[in-house]
Amino acid sequence: MTQITVQRWTPAAIAFALAIAVVLAVLAAGPLIFPAGFTERLTALFVYVILGAMWNALAGYSGLVSVGQQAFFGLGAFVAILLSNAGVPVYAALLLAALAVGVLSLPIGEVMLRLRGGEFAIGMWVLAELAHLLVNLDPLVNGETGTSLIALDAVPAAARRADTYWCALAAMTALLGIVFLLLRGRIGASLQAVRDDEQAAASVGVRVLATKRVVFVLAAAGCALAGALWLATAITFQPRAYFSVQWTAYMIFITLVGGIGTFEGPVLGAVIFFAVETLFGALGVWYLVGLGAAALLFALFAPRGLWGAAQRRYDLRLLPLGFHVVLPTTGRIIR
């Protein structure tokens, strides 16, 4: 019988997508209308959104809990410096660095993705420490002395600020778009099946390793792009600052508070993290303790995060990642 239909886009979803388009259009004019300091802060926000979206794609949709994503963040910045020093135009170097780290993550994934659960998490942490040590060995970096993105240092501050802002906005938009299309398509459903039960997923035809590989490479390239963009705002590169586990702690906070396993959650989480950092960042160690405690409390008492809880409570289905079966007899969606 054909009266049963499968609904994806709803009027509310279309309205929400249009609202996102308007927000992005306003943000695109950012450097022309915002004060310099705010433009710089928003660039940081875009990087946080990327980090949150990548970690959520790994942990929330694929069950891959990584505590070593800073490996790719640091490698992205490092490779960007190498490429720039080799004569690649600096903004092209940021993108190429992300792609190069994505390629590098393929052989890494072959090893890491054979590990399960906690083994994978620890394996990724070891990988991050290893990457940090190897980068320290480079004579250019010279241990923790570090280096800087010299090519960008030569550009006037105002132009640099605006260009980096636009790059970060474009990167965030593109990566969110890719994650959206990925999760909405065949791979997204297969990923969630693998997350929920690997053996059952294999039994219905899902190629488990190949499916995980897609999201692992995407998250590696995305985190590398975030690291390269961070380098473009900070100019200086000290390995300790980029390979710090705090980056993964930020990703976890953003994802858990916003709503793990929801597409919109990490965006909300990044905005909250951004606000908290702006208000309390000066408190130093206590700020970090507060972040950790908040993430812990969310994990224990509100495991769906803010967006997940709101979605349940108000029955929101905004961006259409799932499938809803509409039965004709009542004309409404059964649940």
Among 139, 205, 284, 331, which residue interacts with another protein (rule: CB under 8 A)? 205
Tokens found for residue 62 = 């694929």
How far is residue 17 from each of residues 14, 45, 271, measured CA to CA in Å? 5, 20, 18
Regarding 12 and contact with another protein (CB under 8 A), the answer is no
Give the rounded distance of the alpha carbon of 41 from its chain centre.
17
Among 114, 116, 207, 240, which residue interacts with another protein (rule: CB under 8 A)? 207
Looking at the chain, how many residues does it have?
A: 335
Q: Which residues of 61-83 are buried (b: 16+ CB within 10 A; e: fewer)?
A: bbbbbbbbbbbbbbbbbbbbbbb
Regarding 195 and contact with another protein (CB under 8 A), the answer is yes
Residue 112 or 201: the one with the smaller Cβ distance to another protein is: 201
Is the separation of the CB atoms in 269 and 255 below 8 Å?
yes
Residue 110 or 196: the one with the smaller Cβ distance to another protein is: 196
Tokens found for residue 300 = 């224990």
Stretch that binds another protein, among 19-27, 157-165, 204-212, 293-301 (CB under 8 A): 204-212
**Rounded distance between C-alpha atoms, residue 68 and residue 128, angstroms:** 5
CB of 320 to another protein, least distance (A): 12
Among 13, 65, 88, 202, which residue interacts with another protein (rule: CB under 8 A)? 202
CB of 174 to another protein, least distance (A): 26
How far is residue 137 from each of residues 76, 133, 145, 239, 243, measured CA to CA in Å? 17, 7, 11, 11, 14
Residue 112 or 260: the one with the smaller Cβ distance to another protein is: 260
Per-residue binder mask for another protein (CB under 8 A), 294-333, x = binder: ----------------------------xxxx-x-----x
- Burial of 180 (C-beta count, 10 Å sphere; 0-12/13-18/19+): middle
Regarding 215 and contact with another protein (CB under 8 A), the answer is no
Residue among 246, 242, 240 at smallest CA distance from 292? 246
Among 21, 122, 158, 186, which residue interacts with another protein (rule: CB under 8 A)? 186
> Which DSSP symbol is given to 302?
-
Regarding 9 and contact with another protein (CB under 8 A), the answer is no
- Which residues of the shown chain bind another protein in the complex (CB under 8 A)? 4, 6, 186, 189-190, 192-193, 195-197, 199-208, 261, 322-325, 327, 333-335
